[in-house]
């Protein structure tokens, strides 16, 4: 069964075409700069690459071009071979605790929670509608970033704020990166030779955006992102947890609107804010080598915040079988993994310094003596989207 895994952004469309259940990637690529005269369509297939730069006005045009190229590049003989389309949707609010087949009710539901993710949900919907128009007879599935975290208890998801804000406006912790946390926790159980129901793991998804998740018996019981993806640990440009009174204080001091200060918290904080250099982990680690003090502070602050969450989740889980690192930084930056684990001595966690010098490979990086296994697990959100598409449409 051939299925698409699609991630539509406001000006981009990422895709993978997978042969299921083998989980073989037949093609993958992205259309970038949709809406511009010099949009870029790039696709990888069979060890080959194809790229074209042309005017692509809308997501609909991008999808038509993609489908045309699948045939002209002989990736598929016929579009009828596509039997399912899985769409990543960022926010499912409290409406969606699992993936669902997309119908008009689901589209209305995604729209109804768009207030909670005004940048993402409308973009995801544009992708859904573009595929619906191009392939009206192919069933489509929505896979939500928030769904995996719907198993949290009120003590974890409620803020200590006026209760009516939750009732009237849905103010609560939702959590994000759920598809990644689910994938990685399932792989961790496999690596431990157990079922997810028999395991307690902490997943550290550390990319530009970053969050941790405490997974008990296969279910998310807490996660570090909150009402929005701004909360939790420091990220590339996002602050993570701060005292909210800072927002008002800076707004007065710098004569900025609330929106402007929030923009600073989202786009000018985290790695970039503290280092005053870059939001990219590679740049920071180069600067750390040169002894740049602010870059050292930026990476250490993030590691401290990660370790603090690990400590809290260890207590919440009442023990832990594995701590897993994933995403751009988690999979590649051995230095960050070391900084974090160095702070976990009280839990008896020991990193194997040699084994830790690895990138993007599923492997154990702790010593045999470590109280908790430390695992490196490359995430694969696309395969989860494809699996759910098969599960729901078969």
C-beta of 59 vs 177, nearer to ligand ADP: 177
Least Å from the CB of residue 182 to ligand ADP: 16
- Which residue in 197, 244, 183 sits closest to 384, CA to CA? 183
C-beta of 178 vs 207, nearer to ligand ADP: 207
Q: Which of residues 53-92 bind ligand ADP (CB under 6 A)?
A: none
CA distance 393 to 141: 8
327 binds ligand ADP (CB under 6 A): yes
The contact pattern for ligand ADP, residues 348-377, with x = CB under 6 A and - = no contact, is ------------------------------
SS3 (DSSP) at 114: helix
220 binds ligand ADP (CB under 6 A): no
328 binds ligand ADP (CB under 6 A): yes
333 binds ligand ADP (CB under 6 A): yes
207 binds ligand ADP (CB under 6 A): yes
221 binds ligand ADP (CB under 6 A): no
Least Å from the CB of residue 336 to ligand ADP: 8
Cα-to-chain-centroid distance, residue 366: 25
240 binds ligand ADP (CB under 6 A): no
The yes-or-no answer on residue 145 being catalytic is yes
Number of residues that make up the chain: 394
Q: Which of residues 107-126 bind ligand ADP (CB under 6 A)?
A: none
- The single residue listed with the structure tokens 């490979």 is 361
Residue nearest to ligand ADP (CB): 328
12 binds ligand ADP (CB under 6 A): no
For 106, what's the count of Cα atoms within 13 Å in the CB-facing half-sphere? 21
SS3 (DSSP) at 53: strand
127 binds ligand ADP (CB under 6 A): no
Strand partners, 5: 16, 86
Alpha-carbon torsion 17, 21, 23, 24, what sign?
negative
Q: In what order do the strands lie in the sheet with 322-326?
A: 219-223, 210-216, 200-206, 322-326, 373-376, 363-364
Q: What are phi and psi of 264, to 5 degrees?
A: -65, -40
CA distance 161 to 75: 53
Which member of 132, 208, 350, 363 binds ligand ADP (CB under 6 A)?
208
Of the residues 145, 222, 321, 373, only one is catalytic, namely: 145
Which member of 51, 54, 55, 282 binds ligand ADP (CB under 6 A)?
282
- Which residue in 27, 54, 26 sits closest to 40, CA to CA? 54
Write out the residues near ligand ADP by the rule CB under 6 A: 207-209, 236, 280-282, 327-329, 332-333
Q: Which of the residues are catalytic?
A: 145
């Amino acid at each position: 069964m051939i299925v698409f895994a699609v991630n539509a952004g406001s000006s981009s469309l990422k895709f993978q075409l997978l042969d299921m259940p083998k989980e073989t990637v037949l093609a993958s690529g992205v259309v970038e700069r949709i809406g511009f005269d010099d949009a870029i369509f790039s696709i990888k297939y069979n060890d080959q690459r194809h790229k074209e730069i042309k005017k692509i006005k809308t997501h609909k045009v991008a999808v038509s071009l993609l489908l045309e190229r699948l045939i002209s590049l002989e990736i598929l003989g016929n579009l009828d071979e596509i039997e399912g389309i899985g769409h990543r949707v960022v926010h499912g609010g409290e409406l969606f605790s699992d993936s669902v087949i997309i119908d008009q009710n689901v589209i209305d539901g995604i729209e109804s929670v768009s207030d909670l993710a005004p940048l993402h949900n409308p973009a995801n919907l544009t992708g859904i509608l573009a595929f619906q128009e191009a392939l009206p007879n192919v069933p489509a599935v929505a896979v939500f970033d928030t769904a995996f975290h719907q198993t949290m208890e009120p003590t974890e998801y409620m803020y200590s704020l006026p209760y009516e804000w939750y009732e009237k406006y849905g103010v609560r912790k939702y959590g994000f990166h759920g598809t990644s946390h689910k994938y990685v926790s399932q792989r961790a159980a496999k690596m431990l030779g157990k079922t997810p129901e028999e395991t307690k793991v902490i997943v550290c998804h550390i990319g530009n955006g970053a969050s941790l998740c405490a997974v008990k018996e296969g279910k998310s019981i807490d996660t570090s992102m909150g009402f929005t993806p701004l909360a939790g640990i420091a990220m590339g440009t996002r602050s993570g947890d701060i005292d909210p009174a800072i927002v008002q204080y800076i707004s007065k001091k710098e004569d900025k609107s609330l929106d402007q200060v929030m923009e600073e918290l989202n786009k000018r904080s985290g790695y970039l804010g503290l280092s005053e250099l870059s939001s990219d982990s590679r740049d920071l680690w180069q600067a750390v080598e040169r002894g740049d003090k602010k870059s050292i502070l930026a990476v250490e602050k993030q590691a401290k915040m990660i370790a603090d969450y690990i400590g809290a989740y260890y207590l919440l889980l009442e023990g832990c079988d594995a701590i897993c690192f994933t995403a751009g930084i988690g999979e590649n930056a051995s230095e960050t993994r070391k900084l974090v684990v160095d702070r976990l001595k009280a839990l008896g966690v020991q990193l194997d310094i040699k084994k830790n010098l690895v990138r993007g490979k599923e492997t154990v990086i702790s010593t045999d003596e470590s109280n908790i296994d430390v695992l490196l697990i490359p995430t694969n959100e696309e395969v989860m989207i494809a699996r759910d598409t098969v599960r729901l449409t078969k």
